[in-house]
Every structure is written in C-alpha cells, then in structure tokens.
Amino acid sequence: MHLRTTALTALAALAAAFGLAGPASAGPPARDAGAPGDVVSSAPTSFHPLPGQPTNTRAWHITYRSTSAKGTPNVVSGTVIVPRDGRKGPRPLITYAVGTVGLGDACAPSAGFPYGTTLEANLIQQLTLRGWAVAVTDYEGLGTPGEHTYAVGRAEGHAVLDAARAAQRLPEAGLGKDSPVGIMGYSQGGQASSWAAELHDTYAPELDPGARPPVVCRPISSRPPTTTTAGSAPVSS
C-alpha cells in the first residue's frame, strides 16, 4: 500500500514536470560507434505486469554501451517499452531504475517482463498508461557478463542515463532526442536515480535539452520518499 502511495505521488510529480507542447521530432542523429547510449543489439520482447496480463505496448530487449564506475566502457542490457496509442508529438520518456532484485542474470528486470514476474512492472504499467515510454536498465552485470555492481552509485547512474539515450536511439521506438526525459526509481533504484540526477549535467547534458530531468526516488534507507530535480535539493513527499 505504501509503495502504491509513493508511486502515485511520483506519477503526479512527473506529470507536472513535463512540458508536452511542440512538434514531433524526426529522431536522434547518428552517433559515432562506441558512444555511451549506443544500441549494441535489440530484439522484440513483450511486457506483462502480471503473468498472462496483456498490455497495449511494444517492447524491445536491448544491450547498449555505458560506462563503469571506473570510467571504462561496458555493455548493459535493458528494456524499452512504448505504448501503442498513436500519439503525435514528443512522447515523454521515463528511464526507470528498479529496486533490489538479486545478483543473478535471471533476476534482471528484462528477464521477467515477458512472463509478468518483474516486481515493479505494475508501477511501470502506470507510466505506459499515461502514454509515456519507459526505458528500464538491468544495471551493469545483471543480464550481461560480469558481476552486478549492486549499490555502486556511479555505475548505476551511468546505466540509467544511457538507457534513456539508447531508447532515443532505437529507431523502432520512434522517440526523438528532444523527448522530455524523467528519471524514476525505488529502493536500489532510488539510489541509482539520485546518482543519475547528480551526473546528468556532466555525463548526459543533452538529455531533455532546456530542462532538467525530474527524479522521484526512495533510496535504500528509512528516509521518506523524495522528489528532486537534477542539481536541486530533495523535497520530502
């Protein structure tokens, strides 16, 4: 119940932060090979909040380039989910960071979406029902080779920001480089979201040009949920 209340508060904050006016974007420009956020691979998948529950969405499992906490290039996996609603004009994009799920590849959010077993899928569905696209990172080492960098904030922040970049660069998703970008996370994802907001200006300043991405998070602690924007102080919610 508390998680649902937190989610509703988060959704309201994100909705207030987005400015949706403006022409449709033609899509992101080509990037040099190997840039953070570049899509390495993509394949159609499906998104189910619960086992067997259909949604009016399209989804892709992706791998994309990112950066480790030490600054070295790596590859991270994730999922991009887009509503089938015929929307015209810029579509808001949420890069969503999930809470603690485990350390094995089978625990990755992308592994559970087709089967309706990913814990926070119902929260993600609330975003898609508003017409927003969602990029969900699996984090470094969860779904790709190597150890999962659990609670390593810089690596998580990079993965969250690069998931948004990858979603914008995935042609099938139909998202533009000027899509309003929001950051949302819970528990481990709250920490990851906070790091993404902190790193935004120096690591991915091109995301949502002219506006700072909102962050809604409940970090790994007993603190109340907070709503912030990149570069600003937290506000209790």
> DSSP letters of 31-60?
--TT-TT-EEEEEEE---SSTT---SEEEE
In contact, 172 and 79? CB cutoff 8 Å: no
On whether residue 122 sits in a domain, the answer given is yes
Number of domains in the chain: 1
Which residues form the domain of 135? 2-13+36-236
Residue 31 within a domain: no
pLDDT tens per residue, the chain (237 residues)?
A: 444 444 444 554 555 445 433 323 323 333 445 899 999 999 999 999 999 999 999 999 999 999 999 999 999 999 999 999 988 878 999 999 999 887 878 889 999 999 999 989 999 999 999 999 999 999 999 888 888 888 899 999 999 999 999 999 999 999 988 889 999 998 889 999 999 999 999 999 999 754 555 566 666 654 444 444 444 433 333
Contact 65, 131 (CB under 8 A): no
175 belongs to a structural domain: yes
Q: Tell whether 29 is covered by a domain.
A: no
| Residue 205: per-residue pLDDT | 93
pTM: predicted TM-score of the whole model, two decimal places: 0.79
CATH of residue 161's domain is: 3.40.50.1820
Look at residue 20 and tell me if it is in a domain: no
- Residue 162 domain-assigned? yes
**30 inside domain:** no
Residue 21, domain member (yes or no): no
CA angle 41, 84, 128 (to 5 degrees): 85
